[in-house]
């Protein structure tokens, strides 16, 4: 007789199914743990200590720090599950914070949440879950995971499009995805809050955590300069036409698409169109110079149904997001011996190197995540030559 699948698509009764619940101390992950416990699963709560900012741990919106660990512990005690705190500070520093700083100094705008999910959370924590004999690792992310009917699971946009976190989870591998579960993927945020109140959780009204947890005041440059003293080089702010318009204190203070805070006086609105970290230059120009129709990718993670090698010569019709705040837009995916490329149906502004380009099977609600990669600097843009090269050519 075949054992029916439980609510996690596992052929075991809930009582015989061990689930490790990643508990950050926030509302979402706390509700996941409580919901699974109520459904009869063998739930083990795990919280990762990722950093310690002293006073910052009391800041509304901080996560994975002192107060949040205390909140997770209280929730675990209230719902009656074992709870463990793991010190992952050194792993987080090496895999996330150091890479974040290096990427900014290279003229990129990185997304540390993607790296954190890919490494510390879904690689290291998932390894621990397997050591504990868990059948699944559950998190409070707003993204859907569904059985594809071929022994594997697919990743889909959340039902609540305003909360959808698929952009930050594109780097999840197929092996990780098969063990991961996202119980909130089909829920609205309001339902989650209501469940927290129903369970009587003290954190029911707790504010949501911020994207970058280790930057206590939102000032990225200060964090990077503390990590890499003296690494920021001052340089010139240069117009696309070659005019030097001013000076800056380091490219890490700028991002492609930025308009405010340039400290320039000009007749037309100017935007950062490129960052030349090698020559310590910030390149600015008019808004129309921001439009990009082709995006080249590195470090591609592919979880689509078709192998990249089997893509048709004319490419695959897809939809992509080049910013977490933008809806998927129609595009064409190409792969050749020079790499992976995305041709946008309509030009996008503010496409920044270091950000993610996430690929979906279509642009509508509930789209499946096919993968994604890190955006490379645009190679074809004709930037003004550095001064020494201009002199040599004259």
Three-class secondary structure of residue 239 per DSSP: strand
Catalytic-role residue among 63, 64, 113, 116: 116
Contacts of 280 (CB under 8 A, 6+ apart): 233, 234, 235, 236, 250, 251
Residue 64 known to be catalytic: no
Contacts of 359 (CB under 8 A, 6+ apart): 170, 304, 318, 319, 320, 333, 342, 369, 370, 371, 372
Please provide the DSSP assignment of 314-365 as one string.
T-EEEEEESSTTS--EEEEEEEETTEEEEEEEEEES---TTSEEEEES-SST
Buried b (16+ CB within 10 A) or exposed e, 247-286: ebebbbbbbbbbeeebeeeeeeebbbbbbbbebbbbbbbe
CA angle 79, 116, 317 (to 5 degrees): 110
The helix/strand count (H/E) of the chain reads as 10, 17
Residues 140, 163 contacting (CB under 8 angstroms): no
Pairing of strands 244-248, 316-321: unpaired
Count of CB atoms within 10 A of residue 14's CB?
A: 18
375, containing H or E segment: strand 369-375
Q: In Å, what is the CA distance from 193 to each residue of 28, 47, 69, 137, 245?
A: 8, 20, 20, 22, 50
Count CA atoms within 13 Å of residue 194 on its CB side: 6
Residue 113 known to be catalytic: no
**Active-site amino acid positions:** 116, 213
């Amino acid at each position: 007789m075949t054992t029916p699948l439980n609510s996690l698509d596992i052929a075991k009764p809930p009582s015989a199914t061990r689930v490790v619940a990643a508990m950050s101390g926030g509302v979402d992950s706390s509700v996941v743990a409580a919901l699974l416990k109520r459904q009869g699963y063998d739930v083990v709560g795990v919280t990762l200590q990722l950093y310690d900012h002293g006073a910052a741990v009391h800041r509304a919106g901080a996560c994975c720090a002192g107060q949040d660990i205390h909140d997770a512990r209280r929730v675990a005690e209230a719902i009656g599950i074992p709870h463990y705190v793991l010190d992952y500070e050194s792993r987080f520093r090496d895999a996330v914070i150091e890479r974040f700083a290096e990427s900014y100094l290279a003229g990129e705008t990185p997304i540390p949440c993607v790296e954190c999910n890919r490494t510390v959370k879904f690689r290291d924590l998932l390894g621990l879950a397997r050591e504990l004999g868990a059948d699944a690792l559950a998190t409070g992310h707003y993204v859907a995971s569904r059985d594809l009917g071929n022994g594997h699971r697919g990743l889909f946009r959340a039902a609540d499009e305003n909360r959808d976190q698929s952009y930050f989870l594109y780097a999840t591998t197929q092996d990780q995805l098969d063990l991961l579960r996202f119980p909130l993927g089909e829920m609205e945020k309001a339902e989650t809050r209501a469940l927290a109140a129903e369970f009587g959780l003290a954190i029911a009204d707790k504010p949501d955590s911020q994207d970058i947890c280790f930057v206590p005041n939102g000032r990225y440059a200060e964090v990077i300069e503390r990590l890499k003293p003296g690494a920021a080089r001052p340089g010139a702010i240069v117009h696309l036409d070659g005019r030097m318009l001013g000076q800056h204190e380091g490219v890490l203070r700028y991002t492609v698409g930025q308009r405010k805070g340039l400290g320039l006086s000009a007749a037309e609105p100017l935007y950062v169109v490129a960052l030349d970290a090698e020559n310590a230059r910030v390149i600015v120009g008019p808004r129309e110079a921001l439009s990009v129709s082709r995006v080249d990718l590195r470090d591609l993670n592919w979880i689509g149904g078709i192998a990249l090698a089997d893509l048709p010569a004319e490419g695959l019709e897809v939809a992509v997001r080049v910013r977490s705040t933008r809806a998927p837009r129609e595009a064409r995916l190409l792969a050749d011996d020079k790499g992976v490329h995305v041709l946008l149906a309509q030009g996008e502004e503010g496409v920044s190197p270091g950000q993610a380009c996430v690929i979906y099977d279509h642009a509508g609600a509930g789209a499946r995540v096919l993968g994604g990669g890190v955006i490379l600097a645009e190679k074809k843009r004709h930037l003004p030559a550095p001064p020494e090269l201009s002199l040599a050519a004259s």
